[in-house]
Chains A and B, each alone.
Chain A
Amino acid sequence: MATLAKDVMRGYLDAIVLNVLRRGESYGYQVTKDINAAAHGAYTINEATLYTVFKRLEKGGCISGRWGDESQGGRRKYYAITASGQALLAAERANWTLAQQTLEELINGD
């Protein structure tokens, strides 16, 4: 199966992760599962990469983390999208639409 190059995806990781968290708070392993399932094998993200995205978004106030109350050893950090995160996602979506239309014209245009 054809897969997407990592550097093609890099610029959209913030939007991709925000779009997952938009559906409800979640933790690293679950978010990688959701992303990988939605990409149907064309793209896979690992947790190490996701972690750097989480940290970047958290620093920017787009998501907030809290520790779950799982028993010892299995504590998970749950992340939730914030209002700024919602705003960023909306902006990223608009960017994507523009990119999509422009690239379509540039690559497939007559």
Chain B
Amino acid sequence: MATNEAFSAAINARLDAAFARYPAAPPLTELRQEIAGNLLAAVQDLAASGATPEAAVAQAWQEFGDIAGLIADVAKDAGVAKRSHADSTTPQAVAAKAAAAQAKATAAKAKAEAARAKAEAAARRREAGTADTMTITTGKSTTTIDVSDTGNHRVIINGDLTGLNVTGKLPEAATEAPAHELRRELTGITKLLLDYASDDVTLVPTAGSELIVRETFINGRPDYAGSLTVDGDTVVVKAGKRPKSFLRLAIGGKRMGFWSTIEVAVPAQFTGSLQASVTSGTLVAKDLQQHVALMLSTQDGSLTGTNLKLSAFTGSTQDGRVSLTSSDIDAVAVTTADGSVRLQEVRSQRLTAHSGDGRVTLDQVRVAGELRATSDDGPLSLTTVSAPALTAATSDGRITASDLGGAGSLRSADGSIDAAWTAVTGDLAAVTSSGRIRLQLPATPGYAFALSTGDGHLHGPQAATLTRDSAHHQAGNVGTPAYTVTAKTGDGSVTLN
């Protein structure tokens, strides 16, 4: 990636040419600085959106407008005369020519300097085990990693090490450091905060009343060790230092680069609030069974809960999957801005599951109260789900549901709805702006239905007594109605049986 020094050198070369015929009077040097600063800002913008450095400089220069005219105007206002070619023999002209040559040489030197600085930086990165790009070939696959920017890279390559071929220097192989341990008696503590960075954190239970945090680092340093502080009834565990940027690699189970694993053993006697957050990494909670409100959050990484029995579980990630399995939790609220949500074998009093961009899957989920499963952009899939107040809604995607129990509504702004109910306890609705609707209902009890479509066929149940039957609307009863069914699509057929 081109550096600002390289951009500036290219900009200066063009400015040298444009200013070559003017002396270095203050209004002009100021003008030059101002143009240079603005051009650099434009070039950075253009380069960030993918233009090559040369193309970015050329485009920025062209879009700036009439630079020659601008210089001429400013020179005229300042009373600075432009040097003409004719008087190139005057002493002033000779001196100016020498100055211009020197400026050119300075620009060339700056350019060379920038190139050297870039090469040195690359060399430093190579020494640090983070070359600009790496290509890793194993028996089956080739992976190329761009590690030129600063940032954290995590690459997992499955497969064995046979046929391993790497260009670019691999990070240091694993040197297992002894685990660092933090311990604290939690009697009288009602709030536990875990604040980690680019770490994988796992929460597990432990007997007794002592909190144990085990930090394991591969290629770690002493100052990576975390800290524990107590403030009244609150315990805060904070991550220590972390490398500014790192590459972590796992090839066939062999780990290289910086890795950290944090295991938090939560005493079974602890009750209250437990919050764990990481900036970039996975968060896992398993087997915790106590009166605890657990809150997990990460900006970049997945969240997983398994075999939990808690009073509340809140999970949120900006970018990653969320899954909760085999758990019994009074209140569940999980959300991801970008990723899928999967709940399996979950029992709850009230539950919300949301994805900003991804699929939401509920499998064997039983909720005693309100259940909301929503996606801003993705399909919803429900299998063996029961709730007396179900809302499944997506802004863009299909809804597929089978073995549903309870009552509620299924809504899509753009997608088909396909749902089979095995037990109905209240009114049902299925609404989509565009797509077909197919609903299957149990034989008993009876119900009243109203179907409508903006454009499509309506197929009511065989045994129905119709009260209304037109091109776009059909209504009627099956048996003695115990609940109502409404199905409505803007465009598509509706089938009810």
Contact = CB atoms under 8 A, between A and B. Distances in A.
B70 A74 contact: no
Contacts, number: 65
From A47, A52, A75, A76, name the one whose CB has the most chain B CB atoms within 10 angstroms.
A47
A80 B63 CA distance: 24
Interface in B3-40: 4-5, 7-8, 11-12, 30-31, 33-40
B1 to A, nearest CB: 16
B91 interface: no
A29 B5 contact: no
A76 B64 contact: no
Interface string A56-67: 000000000001
B69 interface: yes
Given A46-B64, A47-B65, A73 B40 contact: yes
Contacts of A47: 35, 38, 63-65
A29 B70 contact: no
Nearest to B66: A48
A73 B13 CA distance: 12
B36 A29 contact: no
A95 interface: no
B28 to A, nearest CB: 13
Interface string A25-47: 00111100000000000000011
B70 A48 contact: yes
A29 B61 CA distance: 12
A76 B4 contact: no
Contacts of B36: 73-75
A51 interface: yes
Contacts of B177: none
Contacts of A72: 8
Interface centre among A51, A68, A76, by most chain B C-beta atoms within 10 angstroms, is A51
Contact of A29 (B8, B41, B67): B41
A75 B33 contact: yes
A49 interface: yes
A48 B5 contact: no
B8 A74 contact: yes
A77 B30 CA distance: 9
Contacts of B33: 67, 75, 77
Interface string B45-82: 10000000000000000011111011001100000000
Contact of B37 (A48, A49, A75): A75
Nearest to A45: B65
Interface residues of B, number: 28
Contacts of B70: 48, 51-52
Contacts of A27: 37-38, 41
A76 B37 contact: yes
A74 B41 contact: yes
Contacts of A73: 4-5, 7-8, 11-12, 36, 40
Contacts of A70: 37
A20 to B, nearest CB: 15
B464 interface: no
Interface string A67-98: 11011111111000000000000000000000
A46 B37 contact: no
A47 B11 CA distance: 15
Interface string B258-286: 00000000000000000000000000000
B4 A74 contact: yes
Given A47-B65, A48-B64, A52-B73, A77 B4 contact: no
Nearest to B30: A77
B74 to A, nearest CB: 8
A67 to B, nearest CB: 8
Nearest to A54: B34
Contacts of B368: none
A53 B31 CA distance: 14
Contacts of B67: 48
Contacts of B128: none
Nearest to A33: B45
Contacts of B38: 27-29, 47, 76
B78 to A, nearest CB: 11
A77 B29 CA distance: 13
B65 to A, nearest CB: 3
A48 B70 CA distance: 6
A97 B12 CA distance: 44
B96 interface: no
Contacts of B34: 28, 51, 76-77
Contacts of B31: 51
A18 B489 CA distance: 52
A103 to B, nearest CB: 29
B174 interface: no
Nearest to B44: A74
Contact of B41 (A46, A48, A51, A76): A76
A30 B38 CA distance: 8
B66 to A, nearest CB: 5
Nearest to B64: A47
A47 B35 CA distance: 9
A78 to B, nearest CB: 10
Given A48-B69, A52-B70, 10 more contacts: A27-B37, A27-B38, A29-B41, A46-B64, A47-B38, A47-B64, A51-B31, A51-B70, A73-B12, A74-B4
11 contacts: A29-B41, A48-B64, A48-B67, A52-B70, A52-B73, A70-B37, A73-B12, A74-B8, A76-B34, A76-B41, A77-B30
**Closest 4 A/B residue pairs (Cβ):** A48-B65, A46-B65, A73-B8, A76-B37
